[in-house]
Structure 1
Amino acid sequence: MIRRGYAPPILAIPAVVGLAFLVLPLAALVGRVQWSTLWADITSTEALDALRLSVTTGLVATALCVLVGVPLALLIARAGARLASVLRALVTVPLVLPPMVGGLALLFLFGRAGWLAGTGWQIPFTTTAVILAQTFVALPFLVLALEGSLRTSGVDYERTAAALGAGRWTILRRVTLPLAAPGLLSGVILCFARAIGEFGATALFAGNAPGTTQTMPLAIYTAFNGAGVTQGSAVALSLLLLVTAVLVLLLVRAWRPSAGPVAGGVR
C-alpha cells in the first residue's frame, strides 16, 4: 500500500489509455514488417547506403560531441550558479527547438549567404552537413548527462589529488572522468542514438541525396512519398531504428544503478 501510494484507482484508466497510445503505434509498425523479405529489404543497395551513411556520420558526430562536449560539461559543472544556469539553458535550446529551425539556423551560418560564406567552405548539402546537423541536435544529450555526473561527484577527490601533487591533466584523466564515467557513457549512447535518428535539420541543411546525405530517416520518408527505397525497405529500416532505440534504453538502464543524478531528465 505504501509503494502504491494513495492515488485514486480510477486514474489507472487514463494511464492505460496513455500507455496504449504509446505502445500500439509501435506494435502496428512491427505488424507491418514483411518477415519473409526482411533480410532482403535491409540488405538492398539503397537501404545499405542509407544505413552505412547513418552509422558512419552518427559515429563521427558522436566523436565531435565528445571532443567539444566534455570540456563544455566541465565548464558548466565547475561554473558559478548563475553562469551555469545560463550555459545550461543555452545547451538545452536545441532540445526544445524544432529540428527544421535548427537546420535553417545552420544554413544561415554555413550557407552561401551565411555568416561564414567568405571562408569558401561548401558545406550545405554535403556529408559534412549531415555530421554538423547531427552534432547540433545530439550535443545537448552528452553535455547534460555528463554535467550532472560531474556536479554529483564534486571536487573533493580532485582537491585531494592536487594536494598529493597530481597535475591538472592527470586529475582529469585519473580522477574526474572515471568518477563521471556512468554519465559520460550514458551521454555517448544517447548522443549516438539521437544522431542516427535525426531528420529535420538534416533534411533542410544537408538535403536528401542518396549515398551522400540520405540517412535512414530520410530514406524512410522518401520511400513513403513514392521514391527511393521500397516501402518494404522503409518499414525494415524503421524496425531497425526501433530496435536501436530499445537497445539504447537498455544500455542506459544498465548503468543507472551506479550513475548519479543527471541534469535535464536524461536518466
Structure 2
Amino acid sequence: MLNQPLSARAQAWLRKQEADLKALGSKRIKTKQQAAQEVLSWCQEQDLIAANSLQLVEVKLDKPLLNRIAETQQELEQTSFREDLSNKTRLEQAVLSNQEQKRLGHTPRHNRLLIRLAQPLPTGFNVSAQFLDLRLEELDLSKFTRLLVVENLDCFYELEKFAVTETPEQLVVYRGDKTSSQGSKALRKAWLAANKPAYYFGDFDPAGVKIALAGKTYQSMLLPKLDVLQKMASAAILPNEQLKYLPNLAKQTNLTPEFQNYCQTLHELKALRQQAMQGMDLVAVDIFKP
C-alpha cells in the first residue's frame, strides 16, 4: 500500500540500528531479516535506496540514510522512528503525527484509579459525588492508613450493603478489569513500598484467593465468619475453569492456620460469591504467617 507507515516493530528496529551507529558510523545489515525487509521496502517506495536493495544479501546502513528516513516520515506526517511512544498518551501521539499507534504508549486508563469516598461530596447538581476517577499521581497516599481493594464493580458501587466500615483514613479502590487494572496495580506496588496494611475484598473462590495471594500485597482478606461461610458456600458457585488453581493453593506453606481453614472449603469444591456476602458480618482474616 502506498505510503503505508512502518510498523512498531520496524520503528523499534530502526532505533536499535541508530544506537549502534553512534559508535560505528555505518554497518552492513542482512536483508533477510523481517524488520530489515519492511524498512528497506519502505525506503524503496520513497526512493531513498536503490531499487535492487532487497535482492542483495547485505546493504549499507549509515547515519545519512537514517536522517532521510526520519525526514521523510515527518513529511508524510507519520511517526518518526526517533520518537519513542512507549511513555506517551494518545493525545501526545496525535501532536507528533497523524499516524495512530494504539498498541504503543499509555492507554487512556493508564495509572487511573476509581476510588470510593467515605463521605460523598456535594456537586451543585442536587446530587452528591461518592466516586472519583483520577490518576495515581494526583493521590496523596500519606493521607490514608490502610487500603481496601474491592474485586467486583457492582459491590464497589454499593459497598454500603456490606458490613464494611468506611472511614476517611481508608482508601477504597476498585481492582479494575482487563482494560482498567493498570492503575490499581501501580497503586498496590506503591502501597507495598509504604509498608501499610492492605485488605482484599472479593469472591471467595480459587481465582479470588489467587488474587489475594499474589505478590503478598494483601495482609488480610475480608470474609464472613468461618461457620457462616461454610454454611453458605456452594459447589454451584465454583466454576470448573478455576479448578486448576487448587493444586498450587494446596502447596502453600506460609498461610495462617485460620486462612487454611477457610481454604479447606475451596478444597471441598465449594465457594461463595462476593455479592452473596451482603448483610453478613465480615472479619479481616490474616493471610500469611508473620
Fold conserved between structures, TM > 0.5: no
TM-score by length of 2: 0.21
**TM-score normalised by length of structure 1:** 0.22
Higher relative contact order (Cα pairs below 8 Å, separated by 6+ residues): 1
Bigger fraction of residues in strand: 2
Which of the pair is proportionally richer in helix? 1
